[in-house]
Amino acid sequence: MKVTYVRGLMVTEDKLIELQNAEIKVEGRLVDASNASLFCSVGEVNAIYKPIAGERPLWDFPDGHLAWREVAAFQVSEALKLNCVPPTILREGPFGEGSLQLWIDDSEEVGERYLEKSDGLRKIALLDAVINNTDRKIGHLLYKEGEIYGCDHGVTFHEDYKLRTVLWQFADLDLTDFEISKLRDFSIDLSGLLTESEINSLHQRIANLLQEKRFPLPPTDWPAIPWPPF
């Protein structure tokens, strides 16, 4: 099977500049989010602003670090040429420092499409295996103009294996030559976002993927699917 990943039109230099420099104006709040997630206008684009001050404590992740993981997930996606995460940066906002992610106005219903073996979902499944995503829910998949993006990456990069996802249709499938080459070429400095232990675990997961040359199987000592799955 040939898999080719094409950078989506969504990620443009102009939009990144807007995110980095334009004034952040809070327009509303996502009421269903577990942490403070504020819908904002940022110049000519819209974004989701997640202030660190609005993060709820978790028993298995350090306090005040979820925003950093959101940014790290975007940077890993870019470094692997997967381009499946909306542009995400750290910025000082109206309620302090937090993550700022380009808003994707998803125009298509997910429905049962999360069960497909599409190239777009495969990209996200590979990213999740690399970043050790413990919360890949159906509602964290965004469909827009033929592209698929993943969002909500706050609970990622744990040192312990905690992969939980609804995308197990790729389990045990062989990695393609393209995927292997991108994993081998992976090189990015995440020292400002993750701890040394988390970075070491990240590189160990990549080494394991390269050794096995296949997608991981569901864990047997940890729930394989997040709850609720949507």
Mean pLDDT in residue range 56-73: 93
Q: Pick the residue with more confidence: 5 or 145? A: 145
Q: What is the pLDDT of residues 218-229, one digit of tens each?
A: 988 889 999 999
Q: Is 224 among the domain residues?
A: no
Residue 112: pLDDT band with limits 50, 70, 90: confident
**pTM given for the model:** 0.93
For the chain, what is the domain count? 1
**Domain holding 97: CATH number?**
1.10.510
Query: Range of 118's domain?
Result: 13-212
| Residue 152 lies inside a defined structural domain of this protein | yes
Q: At what angle do helices 196-212 and 177-184 cross, to 10 degrees?
A: 150
Alpha helices by DSSP H, the chain:
13-21, 66-79, 119-131, 177-184, 196-212
- Note the pLDDT of residue 8: 47
> Is residue 7 in a domain?
no
Here the tokens at position 164 are 């939980």
